[in-house]
Amino acid sequence: GEEALYTSKGWNKRFDLPFPDYAPEYKHTSEEAEQVTVSDKDLLSDYLDVSIKLAKDYLDNLNEDTLDKIVDENWSPPVTQQARLVSIIDDAVMHSGQAVYTRRLVINE
């Protein structure tokens, strides 16, 4: 129910990517994905730090009794808070792994 960190704290302006803020990244074409570049590693690292802190704060204050709450009825079966949290964490882990893999490819060239 809150605005995304990316837009609420001005990260969208700092990253200055060539897409509207509301464009879902999972729908990017390969050509669009190639346009996502960040030359300032400190900016990326700072965003990661703030994102991790936000996630930890959320999880620390999570009421376990709400994990079965339906948060998205657009799927069959509807998505629970628990399933959404697992999905978000899984997505973050995959992106992290992709970043590490890509970095190793660059180092080993």
User: Considering the entire predicted model, what is its pTM?
Assistant: 0.74
Distance, first Cα to last Cα, the chain: 44
Would you state the pLDDT for residue 98?
Answer: 82
Would you give per-residue pLDDT tens digits along the chain (109 residues)?
Answer: 788 899 999 999 999 988 888 877 777 888 888 888 888 989 988 998 999 999 999 999 999 999 999 999 999 999 999 999 999 889 888 888 887 888 788 776 6
